[in-house]
Amino acid sequence: YGWIRIDGTVTPVSITIKDYAYDATPDTEIAVADMESGTISTYYLDADEDTYGDAASFIEVEGDAPEGYVADNTDCDDSNAAVNPGATEICNTIDDDCNELIDEGLLNTYYADADEDTYGDDAASTAACDTPVGYVADNTDCDDSNAAINPGAIEITNSVDDDCDELIDENVAIQDISNTSATINIYPVPNKGNFTVTINCNNATTQEMLLEIYNTAGVRLYEHTFIPDALSTDKNLHTENYPAGAYILKLSAGDELLVKHFIIE
């Protein structure tokens, strides 16, 4: 008995066995056997050797899977062994586990920080694995166009909610009085930490003045007491060690307080 293969197919053969030795009639048929055909299986290419196959690349053969092929066909990226239905989804903008979803349940929300004061705008958000450039995790800035206005700012008398607590000019002990006996100017703005403060007095004075710099968290970083020696006095300040951000300069004399906001890049 045996098999006959025609054009790659397997066809069962009906075999007639004849007994010439024990039968006087040579053509006497004593046994007939029909052989069943073999089973054809489909196997899928596993190029990345992660045991998951590519449904688009397969062969049909009899017997066991050839080398490099598997019975599974659920791999969504057969060029990457880390991507398959058994993988753990990680935040990387890739569908790691082949469920047709990307980074599901792993994205964080970040908020635009247009004024670079480290406080974000709740109305402008994006979802990402890591913090994008220009975004922060905070969403409490009430004016993202002004670095001097945020929850860490110091409230001053200026008809503005500086510290984003929905109150204006609350608990300001000393009034912010401008254009009275003196004015101040900062140059350049913004700057790299080296800048000049010009104090212009309307009248000659021997009154002691206090020059201070605060960060937006209300921490005083610099103070200098002096008496102007002329109607116009320049103070050259060197603050290269200050981090980039928004700062507040205060000049006080008696019950007068002059305030300037500035940016260090």
DSSP state of 191: B
Please report which helix (H) or strand (E) contains residue 129, including its range.
none
Q: What percent of the chain has pLDDT over 90?
A: 55
Q: pLDDT for 192-222, tens place per residue?
A: 999 999 988 877 677 788 999 998 777 889 9
DSSP-assigned letter for residue 86: T
- pLDDT at 262 > cutoff 70: yes
Contact (Cβ atoms closer than 8 angstroms) between residue 78 and residue 51: no
Residue found under tokens 């006959």:
4
Cα–Cα separations (whole angstroms), residue 141 to 147, 167, 235, 245? 9, 14, 32, 14
Q: Examine the pLDDT at 242 and tell me if it is beyond 50.
A: yes
Q: Name all domains of the chain by residue range, CATH numbers in brackets.
A: 4-34 (no CATH), 182-264 (2.60.40.1930)
171 — phi, psi (to 5°)? 55, 35
Q: H or E element: which one contains 5?
A: strand 4-6
Q: What is the pLDDT of residues 144-180, one digit of tens each?
A: 999 989 998 888 777 789 999 998 877 654 444 444 5
Per-residue pLDDT at 155: 82
Dist. CA 94–CA 245, nearest whole Å = 35
Q: What is the pLDDT of residue 37?
A: 54
- Mean pLDDT of the region 79-105: 96
Tokens of 230: 């002329």
How far from 161 is each of 6, 121, 145, CA to CA, in Å? Answer: 89, 15, 14
pLDDT mean across residues, the chain: 83
Residue 3: the pLDDT is 46
Express each pLDDT in 19-32 by its tens digit: 444 455 555 444 44
- Per-residue pLDDT at 173: 46
Q: Percent of the chain scored above 70 by pLDDT?
A: 81
CA-CA distance, 27 to 20, in Å (whole number)?
8
pLDDT at 15 exceeding the cut of 70: no
Supply the pTM of this predicted model. 0.48
Pairing of strands 135-136, 108-112: antiparallel
pLDDT (0 to 100) of residue 25: 52
Q: Cβ of 198: how many Cβ atoms within 10 Å?
A: 13
- Looking at residue 66, its amino acid is P
Amino acid type, 94: I
pLDDT over threshold 60, residue 2: no
d(C-alpha 39, C-alpha 155), whole Å: 83
Give the pLDDT confidence of 112-142 residue by residue, as tens digits: 999 999 999 999 999 999 999 999 999 999 9
Ordered DSSP codes for 226-252: E--SSSEEEEEEE-TTSPSEEEEEEEE
Which residues have a Cβ under 8 Å from the Cβ of 164 and sit 6 or more positions away?
119, 140, 141, 142, 143, 149, 150, 151, 153
